[in-house]
Structure 1
């Protein structure tokens, strides 16, 4: 088989990062390089032509996941819209495309704090909390409630309590958002 062009190599690398981001959120970073490359449709040996190590890929996949999350909640979304989307059955059921905060939390808690992935994760948590913040409510409190509810809902999926958790958290947070602003969709022009 012939050598691939630089453009094809870059495209393959991006596919590996995107696939790793999804698999790591869904299954954890313990996914083997062989399984990852099989999912991408490339050879195991090709991995080491693209990445110095699996940890280097974890760093990139974490950054990619947070970029995707930022795109999922554009600036024009108000707190209520973010809460409703985040605490939905669709988000619960799609861990692979879901929030990297919940997807990477266990792995980040077990890993050291010296990695690039740790820095990216920590900054991503803070940025997401900032998007949920307003004058009346700390974004970290909202984020903790959302992440906890999503995690518990995923852990209890298949039982009615799973949707009850999502509903209870969503209603509590949207009521707080509505009480905290004149417009429940977010701050208005006079704010």
Structure 2
């Protein structure tokens, strides 16, 4: 489906799209950035609802949830779109890097680590692993296997990062 089709479906013109976005790539970058802001808001609420020493564990539990698996449209864009992002032009990926860095800085404060660099490293390891886990779990057909995989992933990441 192209931009013209989408705009027609929502009752607007293609020109209306280009008044807001210079290109489809700009829309894509803005959507990823918005996803990171919304996910950051959600995970901060989760982290702040528990004692600080349990924040990382609460984030892991929320991220590796069946709700996240069942609702890719309202959770982490990376768990859904990482392969697509990887095929985008470098110029687009660099713009997404900015949103990723902002998200990492926001979430790093909940990570274990002796200093800011170690916390950022732990963020990269944890969130890339969790996004991959969610992506794989979504591909499973058996709901029992999905639950088992989520339980294993949560247990592992809490043990290592919680």
What TM-score do you get using the length of structure 1 for normalisation? 0.65
Q: Which has the higher contact order (CA 8 A, sep 6+)?
A: 2
Cα distance, 1:148 vs structure 2: 1.8
Q: Is the 8 A contact 2:126 2:161 kept in 1?
A: no
2:48 is aligned to 76
Cα distance, 1:157 vs structure 2: 4.1
- The structure with more helix, counted as a fraction of residues: 2
Q: Please say if 1:141 is aligned against 2:107.
A: no
* Structure 1 unaligned blocks of 5 or more: 1-30, 179-191
1:183 is aligned to none
Q: Which moved more, 1:90-99 or 1:169-178?
A: 169-178
Q: Please say if 1:112 is aligned against 2:89.
A: yes
Alignment of 1:1-191 (within 5 A): 32-37=2-7, 40-74=10-44, 76=48, 78-115=55-92, 117-124=95-102, 126-127=104-105, 130-131=108-109, 133-135=111-113, 138-177=122-161
Cα distance, 1:143 vs structure 2: 1.8
Equivalent residue pairs, number: 148
Distance change >3 Å, CA 39–CA 117, structure 1 → 2: farther
Q: Is the 8 A contact 2:29 2:95 kept in 1?
A: yes
Q: Name the Cα RMSD after superposition.
A: 2.7
What TM-score do you get using the length of structure 2 for normalisation? 0.75
Distance change >3 Å, CA 117–CA 150, structure 1 → 2: same
2:52 is aligned to none
- Structure 1 counterpart SS, 2:19: helix
Cα distance, 1:129 vs structure 2: 6.2
Distance 1:109 1:177 in 2: 26
Q: Which moved more, 1:118-127 or 1:61-70?
A: 118-127
Cα distance, 1:46 vs structure 2: 2.2
Point out the structure with max Rg over C-alpha: 1
